[in-house]
Homo-oligomer: A and B are copies of this chain.
């Protein structure tokens, strides 16, 4: 998914019809964009420009897409409830990005300055807070408390995952169980609740709602692992964000964990020391060794496992109209993961 809707890749070997899936929700996304713009008015006049800066992004609107597809009501049908729910989820997501970029020290996101860079990290902490609060305020406009309840719980879980990740920084004893728990919370949770809310607001039965939520969760896990791999193997220009930040900030992700597993003791210790101390060249060295030791293909297999679990969750509901659309989203991620593998992985040493 990534930047591909904005920048169709010419050389990746990925299918060229990525945008076809997103075209299906063109009217819904247009309504969402209008909604997001209108929400700027909900902020205090003094901070509207800052809120607008955060809300007006060229982002992929991936979580909104999950809301719209899970609650699919037919071609071109724009449901106000789905648009509002998508807006709530996207605003929570944008708030987490504002805070993430503070900790990562990231300067660029979606090809422009992060809020932390533009306004300073103190203001960015508070701006993220204001976005969270406004998201919940919009959630409170539904007739019942259900959306508030789900979104606030998801937000707490996302933050908990982020806290764990932060506390485990530069800690190379992080277990696989910890890693899975962290990405389940910090990423998969919001994918899960997007699918839950979309299907629920379109009045699907609880069995499908639960199945859609499970689909979202597995897709989210797969997506996060893809994103972690991208941080090593992606190209900054195409992704529109600062890459290599995981190693730079000492964030232990699956690619590095698997690489460390595959290294002999001495080399493992040397790499750990290099990453811990932020030695220049640590990133290039790990990329090179990942390539040589086949870490990329191993990660791809893991992602494919998650995508298979996602598909399986929907299998009993194949007749429902959201299902083929959700499955296409899974296929899209699968194709992107493949595309990442296509060119030679990592720079060759001189």
Say which one of A117-125, A215-223, A296-304, A323-331 lies at the interface with B: A117-125
User: Do A125 and B102 contact each other (CB < 8 Å), given the known contacts A46-B160, A133-B156, A159-B130?
Assistant: yes
Q: Please indicate which of the listed interface residues A43, A139, A156 has the most CB atoms of chain B within 10 Å of its own CB.
A: A156
Instruction: Give per-residue flags for A85-129: 1 if the beta carbon is below 8 A from chain B beta carbons, else 0.
Output: 000000000001001001100000000000000011011011111
Given A125-B99, A145-B140, A166-B120 contact (CB < 8 Å): yes
CB of B129 within 8 A of CB of A44, answer: no
Output the least CB separation between A135 and chain B (Å): 8
Residue in B137, B144, B148, B149 whose CB lies within 8 Å of A156: B137
Q: Is A194 an interface residue (CB 8 A)?
A: no
Asked whether A155 lies within 8 Å of B140 as measured between CB atoms, the reply is no
Complex: A129 Cα to B125 Cα, angstroms: 9
- A287 contacts chain B at the CB level, 8 A cutoff: no
- Cα distance A129–B153 when bound, in Å? 12
Q: Is A77 an interface residue when CB atoms closer than 8 A count as contact? A: no
With A136-B136, A145-B141, A152-B134 already in contact, the answer to whether A129 and B164 are too (CB < 8 A) is: no
User: Taking the complex as formed, is A132 at the interface, i.e. its CB lies under 8 A from any CB of chain B?
Assistant: yes
Q: Which residue of B lies closest to A149 (CB)?
A: B140
Most buried by B among A50, A132, A140: A140
Chain B positions within 8 Å of A162 at CB level:
126, 129
A334 within 8 A of B: no
Say yes or no: B145 contacts A142, CB within 8 Å: yes
**Inter-chain contacts of A119 with B (CB < 8 A):** 167
Residue pair A50, B163 in contact (C-beta under 8 Å): yes
Interface residue from B44, B140, B153 paired with A152 (Cβ < 8 Å): B140
Q: Are B164 and A47 in contact (CB under 8 A)?
A: yes
A residues with CB within 8 A of B? 42-44, 46-47, 50, 96, 99, 102-103, 119-120, 122-123, 125-130, 132-134, 136-137, 139-145, 148-149, 152-153, 155-157, 159-160, 162-164, 166-167, 181, 185
7 pairs across A/B with beta carbons < 8 Å?
A42-B156, A46-B181, A102-B122, A123-B163, A132-B155, A141-B149, A143-B145
